[in-house]
Amino acid sequence: MTNTQSAFGFRHLGYLPGYAPDMALTTRKIQSTNTNKIFFGDPVIKSPATPYITAALLNTTTLVGVFGGCSYIPVGGGPPVWSPYWPGAAAQDAIAYLITAPGALFLAAALNTAIVAANIGANIGFSTGAGSTVGGAFSGYTLDQSTINTTNTLPFTIVDLYQGVGNGADPASPYNWVQVTFNNEMFRAGVTGVL
């Protein structure tokens, strides 16, 4: 079955063998004046010289983690609101919840050309995309197969191809789904990949 294009960011699947399951989410702050939306499943970075996080835009910056929602007080006041995405403004700084466990395993879709079994062990970057507030506010990020390399600064390592059925399961057609783990992340120093 040919895959159809779908973007859902980095969906947490579990943990690599040998790593303890760590269901705790790390908290960080989002600056209340940050007008850039952050969606569920977006990789995030720390803003330089500040305590705040923002969505990652470059493949060469050390990740802080993957965004898993936030709580904030809406502009105009009221009780705190939990949201699967950062809407781009709040009355005060928001609390972001992040997946930061170094052994976390994620599922993500290929941007275009198929990622194949020969790429397992290599490092890979992402392509940013427009997130959607429809159906749960999911990320638009995908894996960018044009970045596959051994470079130790790339943010993710390819662990396996999607072993399920249905969309994303055809490794021979574009837009297939792939299992990845952190490579260059605040709790995991980047290593050279294997091609």
pLDDT in tens, 11-29: 999 999 988 888 889 999 9
Contacts of 6 (CB under 8 A, 6+ apart): 109, 167, 168, 175
| Confidence (pLDDT) at 195 | 83
| Confidence (pLDDT) at 191 | 92
At residue 112, what are phi and psi to the nearest 5 degrees?
-150, -90
| Confidence (pLDDT) at 72 | 96
Q: What is the end-to-end Cα distance of the chain in Å, rounded?
A: 27
Count of C-beta atoms within a 10 Å radius of residue 53: 27
Does the reported pTM lie above 0.85?
yes
| Confidence (pLDDT) at 19 | 87
DSSP calls for 65-114: EEEEEEEEPPTT--S-EEESSB-S--SSPEEEEEE--TTEEEEEEBSSSP
Cα 168–chain centre separation:
17
**In the chain, domain spans:** 11-16+102-182, 26-99
pLDDT at 162 over 90: yes
| Confidence (pLDDT) at 67 | 97
Count of C-beta atoms within a 10 Å radius of residue 52: 20
Buried b or exposed e, range 132-148, using 16+ CB within 10 angstroms: eeeeebbbbbbbbbebb
Mean pLDDT of 50-77: 94
pLDDT in tens, 169-180: 999 999 999 999
Poorest-pLDDT segment among 36-50, 85-99, 130-144:
130-144
| Confidence (pLDDT) at 20 | 82
